[in-house]
Each structure stands twice: as structure tokens, then as C-alpha cells.
Structure 1
């Protein structure tokens, strides 16, 4: 028997446009005489091995109407895919999506690792594979309407054995308008080469190629840099309830949302507030089963405080690294917002008793009951990807798959 180990290097999270590197190790385990596959002095022969990346889209057919699904009659013949699939013996071609449900929305060009490989008993052979992920792909996403899942598939076949498909899942984050920044880098590199009339002092003269990861991280730094504070007056028909200051609207995964809530000099007394970080999965109206379908909201971190007679307080909400950043494609879009819930008093704020004599104290007793009402307010924000090295720390998928063929 032959053990195949497929390992994605550096971790399972990548930015679109980045190059994925994988190491494939094959070990001839036929060294035990009790093994039925052991033939003393006979090496193992593998006919071929090939690698390919692909992205599968899974839709909730009860809520999503895709016309092309109606023509998918062959889908019932496929079984649910796992990390290791066995296909018929007479199949000698790599079909990376064999056994997968859903629709394939992205595939890379297949790469042949080897043909007619012979492994002696106990021998180990390693192969390297690299592929640049396209920038025009959807991100990894698990929503209520649609899901996008990425996998690296290795197809291999021993002589006189069925073809085996080995899959390694990974996660893709998409930086918006990354192509624009890559073009700018190409122009900067070209202008720094010898013989050109314009030299850019900010470009390293030894740099001759585009590093997509560096370009993407630079783009994220530009998009999420703090330019100025955003101040919002939250009001209702009776006047101002709160003044909210947000330090920046564009944030990265793993960052903290920082803000200030100011209840001083307001017209409506606020008793309690709650701020929730929420995402909204919005299905394109063209693909909805019912016109009344609403956006699917998901709540994440939350902060709640009582604020009666509070002049000022601070907001700090963390953005989980496992979330999907803001994106928009033809089928679905994902948007983020801060959902505010205010519990406000219907009666005017009573004036507190004051005493000018510092040697005496003044006690204020709150009322036993208050006539209150609630109001909500949504503030849209934009969440962008982060450095994939950080996202690797919370990745729930394994970047290694082991199979016996």
C-alpha cells in the first residue's frame, strides 16, 4: 500500500491573488509481511498524479432560484464528497469535482505531478505544487442562502487500482479592487528599471516582480487607515438621543471597533443601550423564490450598558477573525452594520438636586418604575480581510490530508 500525504504549506487561509504552495508526499508502506498487499522484492507503481484547485457553490434550493439547476439531471448520480473519494477503475482522467454537490464556479488548470512513478518498499518521494489563486473569485462563505467552499484536489491511481481523489480544504479572502493596486505596482516597477526616464525613489531598485501578498497587505493598510472621525447624531421625533463618534468605518478582521457615545446635552434621556455587530446576507432579487424574502442577519459580538445620567461612555467591539469580510457578487452580497438599540424614557429627565456646601452630601433615589420605549438605529460599516497569517490561528480546517491508495 502507498500512503499519500497532502499538506498545504503556511496554513489554510489565503488571499485571492496569492500563490498557494502544497507538498505531496508518497510513501511505500509495503514493508510488513502480514500485509496482504506486500510482495517481497516487488516495487509499487503509480500510473499518474495530478492536482487542481476548485471552488464549489452550494445554494439553498428552497430559497434560491437558479435556472441552470433545473438542467442538472446528472447530479443525482454523484455521491456526497469527502476528503478522500474513490472513482471507478476505468477512469484515468482527473475530474476534480467528481462526487461534489453544487456547482463549480472556479477551477485552476490541472497540473500533472508525474507519470509512471515506481516506489521501492519503504521509499519516500516528495513533490511540490504551486498555483496562484485568481483575483476574480468569491470568498469562502457559509451563508443561509449560498455557500462557497474551496478545495485542493489530488487525483492519483496505482496500476490495477481505482483512481483516488484526495481533497484538502482551504479558505480564501478577497481584497476589493486588488487588480488596481497590482497595476499600480507594475507601473512603479517599470518606472524604476534602468533605461527609463522616471525613477521612483520609493520603489526598491532590486524589485523586479509583483509580490501579490505584499501588494494586498499594502492595499488593506490604505483602505483601513484612519483618515478622520465620523460623528453621528442619533435622534427621534422628540430630539437628540445620543451623539456617536466612530473613529473609522473601514476595519479589518480581528480589529476592535472603537467609538464614543455621548449622552451630554441631549433632549431624550437614555436608560440603556445595546450595540451588536451584525452581518446581512442579501440575495439578489432576481434569484429569490419569493419577493418577500428579507436579508439574513447574523449577530456576533455585543456590548450593553445602563447609561442613565451618564455623560459619556466608550464602545469596543471585536471583529472575529473567522468572519467573512464584506463582498458583493451577482448572486449574493454580504454587508456589515452596527445595530443600536436604545431604551429611552418617555418622561423628561428630572434635574438632580445639588448642594453647594461640600460638607454635606446629596442623595438621589431612582424611581421605582419608568415609562420607557425602545428605538433602533443601524450604522453601515465595511469589514475587509486581514493578514492570512493571523487568520490561520483560528482556522477550523486542517491543511493536511492523509490517504491510503
Structure 2
């Protein structure tokens, strides 16, 4: 009996362009560990073992028309054997060994590393489509069928990462020739490209606060409020902060709700019906009563488990802040002024107010974060144990 342990090092979340490292441990385990006799008879031979990364795409056929689209990425080892859906990405297969013999109780450890392509979709589970990544180990004992062992992992994609890598390469080449290039992504002492470092530097630049954005939210009777957002690009795990100002407005607002929402938009060429709308998913929400409030603050957290903004041929994911306002149809009555300091004025709101509602959407962009942070909320195990 051979026990195989496949473990993805550092955790199950990676950025596209990053190198994945895996440790594969094979142990010849006796059925009775106390029996040390007949060692020659209990040695085990394994013909071969191979490793490969792949991404499977699953679609809701009731809503998505692939128009007989064919994807061909087959190899000698069919790592996706037994999987449903279509294979949209496979790495080159790597042969770990051939003709391996393990004595009773013997353990052999093999290492595997592969750089994930930057031209891949992120891990995503939506209503129309799903993208799932797995590391597959194929192995075969002598006179036994082939066994496939799979370890799932998550991929996040940084937009335009290739552009930042090219900038790094150009800056490094220029520094080696003595030409000074002002590139914020490259340290003067760097001599080679580190995709993870480049991606994290790019994310820092893309999500930095450049200037605040001010929006006047109005309806046909005038201004409802003024909303200030400090930036439009955010990373997973960040807080979306802003200021909602109700001072000097034309319309009285009684209550507001802000919801962080994602939109799964199916390319119109693949829709079963032309009337298919984007699939909306709501995440964090903030709601407050604001009658007679001059100013309040917005703070919405972005879950680390979310899928960042992305767009591929089949589907795209966009993010927005969805505002809902409950506003009064009649002007707010003014309080009378009392100049007598010995008395006080008590104001009570009306028992019933004639109201109406309005909505307003603001698009934002959500980008990946450091994969080490996302590992903390990963729902998949980075270790798989199997017996062959």
C-alpha cells in the first residue's frame, strides 16, 4: 500500500504569474506496521508519476450558449480525466519519476514547481460560469490502473501584470548598462524579475489614493446629498470609506442604505435569451436613519473571499456601490426659534411622513490582495492524502 501526500506550500491562494510549489511524499506503508518479516515481498514498484496544473470551466447550459465552442489542451497524461466542463488552461506536464521502488516503510519526497500563466481567468463561482483550478498528480503502480490525485487552489489575477513585468525588465536591463531609469516598480539592487513582488507593487500603485471624488446625488426636485469617496480602486480586504453630507440639500432624506454588489455580466453572444440581465450578488451593507443629520460616514468592508474585477471573452465581473434613499415628498418643517433661555423647545417628528424612494449606483474597481492574506479565509485544503 502506497500513501501519497500532495501539499501545496505557503497556502492555496496564488496570483497569476506567481510560481506554485508543491511537495509530493510517497510512503510504502505496511498493512501491519508491527510485522517486519517478508520485507522483500512487500516492496512496491511505481511505474511513473506526473504533475500538471489545469483550470476547468463549468457553464450553466440553461443560461449560456457556447455555440459548440471547442477547447483542446489534451496531453499524454489527461489530467482532466473524469472532470466535467471544458479545460481552458493546462500547464506542461512534469514527470516526477519513472520506475520507483519503495521498500517497506521507505519514504521518498519530490518537489514540483510551476509558474501560473498570466493569461488565465481568476477562480470564480458564479451563476452563469465557474472557473476552478486544480493540481493533478497522475501515478500508476505496476499492474494497477492509473490514479489521479487532485489538490484545489485559488488564482487571483492582477490586470495588465504583463505591462508591469515589461517595465521591470526594461528597467533592469537599463540599470545593467548604466542607464538610470526612474521606475517605481524596480529597486536599484534588483537583478531579476520576481512576479509576486512586481504584482504587489503594482497593486499598491493602482489602489493608492490619488485624489478624492465628490458626487452630487440629485433627483428631479434637487440635491439629495453629496457623497465623497477617497478613491475608486480597492483591494480585497480593504474598507470602502466615504462621507455622506446632507447639509444644504433641497430634499429631506430620512434613511439611506449602501450595499456592495457585484455584477456577473454574460457576453451577449453567449446568451440564451437577449433579455438576460446581469446576475447581482450583494455583500456588505450599511443602513442608517438620517433625518436631521448633517453628515455621516460610510464604511464597508470588502470580503477577502470575493472575486476581483475581471473580464474575459465569456463573462465579466464588475463592482458597484448601490445606494437606496428614502426621501420625504414634502419640505421638512423648520423649528421655531426660542430666545427665552429659561424655557426649552421640544421637537417631535411627525407620526406619518409621505415618502418615496430612489436609487443610485456608483461603479468601483476591486483588485486582488496579497495572497498570504487571502489564505486566511481560504475554504479549500492545500493538502490531499490518497492511497494507491
RMSD (CA atoms): 1.7
Which residue pairs with 1:352 in the alignment? 335
Shift of 1:200: 4.4
Match of 2:233 among 215, 230, 250: 250
Which residue pairs with 1:94 in the alignment? 77
Match of 1:263 among 246, 259, 274: 246
**1:120-171 Cα distance to aligned partner (Å, 9 max, x none):** 1001110000000000000000000000000000000000111100000000
Which residue pairs with 1:370 in the alignment? 353
Provide the rounded CA distance (Å) in 2 between the counterparts of 1:52 and 1:131.
9
Shift of 1:349: 1.1
Q: Is the 8 A contact 1:232 1:245 kept in 2?
A: yes
Q: Is the 8 A contact 2:21 2:112 kept in 1?
A: yes
Q: Is the 8 A contact 2:251 2:328 kept in 1?
A: yes
Provide the rounded CA distance (Å) in 2 between the counterparts of 1:357 and 1:95.
88
SS at match of 2:113: strand
Number of residues of Structure 1 aligned to a counterpart in Structure 2? 381
1:4-15 matches, within 5 Å, as 4-15=4-15
SS at match of 2:68: helix
Match of 1:198 among 179, 202, 213: 179
SS at match of 1:353: coil
TM-score by length of 1: 0.91
Provide the rounded CA distance (Å) in 1 between the counterparts of 2:195 and 2:339.
66
Which residue pairs with 2:30 in the alignment? 30
Provide the rounded CA distance (Å) in 2 between the counterparts of 1:304 and 1:277.
12
Which residue pairs with 1:58 in the alignment? 58
The verdict on how the C-alpha distance between 1:57 and 1:134 changes in structure 2, with shifts beyond 3 A counting, is: same
Which residue pairs with 2:310 in the alignment? 327
1:180-195 matches, within 5 Å, as 180-193=163-176
Shift of 1:197: 3.8
Provide the rounded CA distance (Å) in 2 between the counterparts of 1:239 and 1:295.
30
SS at match of 2:254: strand
**1:196-228 Cα distance to aligned partner (Å, 9 max, x none):** 141348754542210000000000001000011
Q: Is the 8 A contact 2:228 2:243 kept in 1?
A: yes
Which residue pairs with 1:168 in the alignment? 151
Which range moves more in the overlay, 239-248 or 350-359?
Answer: 350-359
Which residue pairs with 2:40 in the alignment? 41
Which residue pairs with 1:285 in the alignment? 268
Which residue pairs with 2:135 in the alignment? 152
Q: Is the 8 A contact 1:31 1:121 kept in 2?
A: no
**1:328-371 Cα distance to aligned partner (Å, 9 max, x none):** 11100000000000000001111022323444321001111010
1:390 matched to 2:373: yes
Which residue pairs with 2:198 in the alignment? 215
Q: Is the 8 A contact 2:39 2:103 kept in 1?
A: no
The verdict on how the C-alpha distance between 1:209 and 1:124 changes in structure 2, with shifts beyond 3 A counting, is: same
Q: Is the 8 A contact 1:30 1:39 kept in 2?
A: no
Q: Is the 8 A contact 2:261 2:319 kept in 1?
A: yes
The verdict on how the C-alpha distance between 1:377 and 1:393 changes in structure 2, with shifts beyond 3 A counting, is: same
Task: Please list every run of 5 or more consecutive structure 1 residues that lacks an aligned counterpart in the other structure.
Answer: 73-91
Q: Is the 8 A contact 1:262 1:311 kept in 2?
A: yes
Provide the rounded CA distance (Å) in 1 between the counterparts of 2:199 and 2:210.
20
Task: Please list every run of 5 or more consecutive structure 2 residues that lacks an aligned counterpart in the other structure.
Answer: none
SS at match of 1:67: coil
The verdict on how the C-alpha distance between 1:63 and 1:34 changes in structure 2, with shifts beyond 3 A counting, is: farther
SS at match of 1:68: coil
TM-score by length of 2: 0.95
1:226 matched to 2:225: no
Which residue pairs with 1:306 in the alignment? 289
SS at match of 1:341: strand
